[in-house]
């Protein structure tokens, strides 16, 4: 568990002094502004608490705030296409993003993302993972109490190839694996720029082989899942297996796959949301653009023939998120090869929304569908 000393809170820039004309607002306007800020006072307290409490406590506090905030949306007369739970979650996450400055140093960004992913993890995550460092790289989690016949989820975390870890994503991955009634291996691949993307691909391939050999699994008992850049790495695994004429797993699940990533695009041309923010894009633009081969960043643009031999695939994406084009192109090329493919495109959902399945029902519905996909393809063979 990551504790308070790992969350980096950079100092905000000193506010500029207001001119006399700027500060001479009408009392009516000031009163309205104060009223509009009242719902956020508890959120401000929560953000301050992030600096002083462990992730588990912050998770519980955040849930309490969101439940109270959700009630406001239930009572509101406004009708929206998204659930009150999502609207409340979105407001809190946006508020936190607007009020917590992003650190400049990559090492500090990594610490903060680790903290936030653990804080947003599902409840009731009590496993004790086994660290694997030889053959594969990652965490092995026995979720079925030694059931040797249980299928396995191999999960590849996101983070733009340069952020994230198996431990940071273990909570979300474990929650999905539990729904699938499976054991779990979370790949802890080496990060860019300290290592190459080829190193990360090699770690994913090695972890897949570790599960087959050390857990005595057949490919038909394994489903590979990944989110964002992790979904792109999972795609690279399939390409590698096909190239080496090795058997692919029973299924492939791609969550908001970063398979057509225009990381060099100007910010005004980028669809941002609660997860893939302007600051996030700027960070990746500084570290990834021009330094990673476009054939890696845009794997969906490979010839359709390269996707022949892929396993049944489930793709989940926000209908308007930044990476939707890659998801749609992947789906189209898989269909051209007569691959059994399911595309879930959900309106108004942010990048990686499926990971937050116990926060709002849209994501819960996504995981329920993935669980059915998993169970069908691991039991029919």
Q: DSSP labels for 53-121?
A: S-HHHHHHHHHHHHHHHHHHHHH-----SS-HHHHHHHHHHHHHHHHSPPPSSHHHHHHHHHHHHHHTS
pTM of the predicted model over 0.85:
yes
Nearest by Cα to 260 from 331, 199, 363: 331
Q: Are 230 and 160 in contact (CB under 8 A)?
A: no
The dihedral of CA 19, 23, 25, 30: what is its sign? Answer: positive
Mean pLDDT by 10 residues, the chain (381 residues): 38 41 43 43 55 68 77 65 91 80 87 88 77 90 92 98 96 96 97 96 97 96 98 98 96 98 91 92 92 94 97 97 97 98 97 96 98 94 57
Q: Which residues contact 13 (CB under 8 A, 6 or more apart)?
A: 101
**Distance set, CA 91 to CA 112, 118, 189, 277, 346 (Å):** 19, 19, 32, 14, 19
Distance CA 325, CA 343 (A): 12
Q: Hey, what long-range contacts does 11-14 have (CB within 8 A, 24 or more apart)? A: 11/101, 12/101, 13/101
pLDDT, residue 255, reads 98
Q: Can you give the pLDDT at residue 7?
A: 41
Residue 242: closest CA among 292, 205, 190, 200 = 205
Q: Supply the pLDDT for residue 121.
A: 86
**Residue 231, both tokens:** 């979904």
Closest CA to 339 of 378, 303, 366, 304: 304
- Residues 6 or more apart whose CB falls under 8 angstroms from that of 210 comprise 132, 135, 136, 185
First CA to last CA distance, the chain: 38
Rounded CA-CA distance 292/150 in Å is 38
Cα maximum dimension of the chain: 75
Position 29 scores a pLDDT of: 43
- In sequence order, the 6+-apart residues with CB closer than 8 A to the CB of 36 are none
Residue 181 near residue 281, CB atoms below 8 Å: no
Asked whether the beta carbons of 153 and 179 are under 8 A apart, the reply is no
Beta strands in the chain (DSSP E): 130-132, 138-141, 152-156, 183-187, 222-227, 251-255, 313-318, 341-346
The residues, ordered by sequence, that sit 6+ positions from 164 with a Cβ below 8 Å of its Cβ are 110, 113, 114, 117, 157, 158, 191, 230
Q: Are 86 and 362 in contact (CB under 8 A)?
A: yes
Residue 187: closest CA among 230, 124, 128, 244? 230
Cβ 164 vs Cβ 158: under 8 Å:
yes
At residue 118, φ and ψ (nearest 5 deg) are -70, -35
């Amino acid at each position: 568990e990551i504790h308070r000393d790992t969350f980096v809170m950079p100092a905000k820039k000193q506010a500029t002094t207001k001119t006399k004309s700027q500060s001479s607002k009408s009392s009516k306007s000031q009163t309205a502004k104060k009223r509009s800020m009242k719902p956020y006072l508890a959120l401000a307290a929560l953000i301050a608490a992030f600096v002083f409490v462990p992730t588990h406590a912050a998770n519980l506090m955040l849930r309490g705030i969101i439940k109270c905030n959700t009630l406001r949306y239930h009572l509101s007369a406004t009708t929206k296409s998204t659930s009150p739970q999502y609207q409340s979650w979105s407001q809190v996450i946006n508020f936190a993003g607007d009020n917590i400055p992003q650190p400049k140093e990559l090492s500090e960004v990594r610490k903060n993302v680790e903290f936030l992913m653990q804080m947003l993890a599902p409840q009731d995550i009590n496993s004790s993972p086994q660290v694997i460092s030889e053959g594969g790289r990652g965490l092995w989690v026995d979720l079925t109490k030694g059931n040797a016949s249980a299928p396995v989820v191999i999960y590849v975390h996101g983070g733009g190839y340069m952020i994230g870890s198996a431990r940071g994503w273990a909570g979300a991955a474990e929650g999905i694996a539990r729904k699938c009634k499976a054991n779990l291996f979370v790949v802890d691949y080496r990060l860019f720029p300290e290592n190459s993307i080829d190193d990360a691909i090699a770690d994913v391939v090695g972890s897949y082989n570790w599960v087959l050999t050390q857990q005595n699994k057949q490919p038909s008992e394994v489903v590979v899942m990944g989110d964002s850049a992790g979904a792109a790495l999972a795609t690279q695994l399939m390409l590698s297996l096909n190239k080496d004429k090795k058997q692919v797993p029973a299924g492939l699940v791609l969550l908001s796959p970063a398979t057509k990533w225009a990381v060099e695009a100007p910010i005004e041309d980028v669809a941002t949301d609660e997860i893939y923010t302007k600051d996030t894009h700027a960070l990746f633009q500084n570290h990834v653009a021009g330094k990673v081969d476009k054939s890696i960043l845009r794997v969906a643009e490979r010839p359709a023939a390269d996707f022949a031999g892929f396993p049944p695939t489930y793709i989940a994406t926000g209908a308007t998120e930044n990476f939707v084009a890659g998801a749609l192109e992947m789906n189209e090329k898989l269909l051209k090869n007569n691959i059994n493919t399911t595309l879930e495109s959900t309106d108004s959902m942010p990048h990686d929304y499926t990971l937050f399945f116990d926060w709002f029902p849209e994501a819960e519905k996504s995981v329920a569908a993935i669980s059915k996909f998993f169970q069908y393809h691991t039991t029919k063979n």
